[in-house]
Amino acid sequence: MELLQGTLDMLVLEALQRGPIKGYGIAQSIRLKSAEMLEVETGSRYPAPRRHKRHRRVKLEWKTTESKQRAKFCQITAKGKQQLESGHERWRSMVRAIGAMMELEREA
């Protein structure tokens, strides 16, 4: 299923709630948590965390993986957590508005 414009940034922050992960791990988390309904395209995997970094919502840090390879890990910041909460509120409002509209259409 194609992601709605603007939702990827919120989903990236949500995926980072459990701790630092790599870009591929972010995509996997979104795919698994959505029961494999949402797929993050390869070309979107890395620009989204960089956008958040510019706004200080995530920090990026090079670390050594269990397989002894260096990889860049993303971690949500306090500002990112605030943005995520704001995003949750906007999303709930959007779902209510769309739900109300769909009910009006059924009644007509």
The predicted-structure confidence for 20-66, as pLDDT tens digits, reads as follows: 999 889 999 999 999 999 988 888 888 889 999 999 999 999 999 88
DSSP 59: E
Identify the CATH number of the domain in which residue 30 sits.
1.10.10.10
Q: How does pLDDT run across 74-83, given as a tens digit for each residue?
A: 999 999 999 9
CA 26/CA 30 separation, integer angstroms = 6
CA 44/CA 6 separation, integer angstroms = 12
Domain that holds residue 63: 7-107
Say what the pLDDT of residue 51 is: 92
Domains: count for the chain: 1
Predicted confidence band at 104 (pLDDT cuts at 50, 70, 90)? confident
CA 68/CA 25 separation, integer angstroms = 17
Residue 16 lies in a domain: yes
Structure tokens at 104: 């009006």
Residue 24 lies in a domain: yes
Residue 2 lies in a domain: no
Give percent of the chain with pLDDT exceeding 70: 96
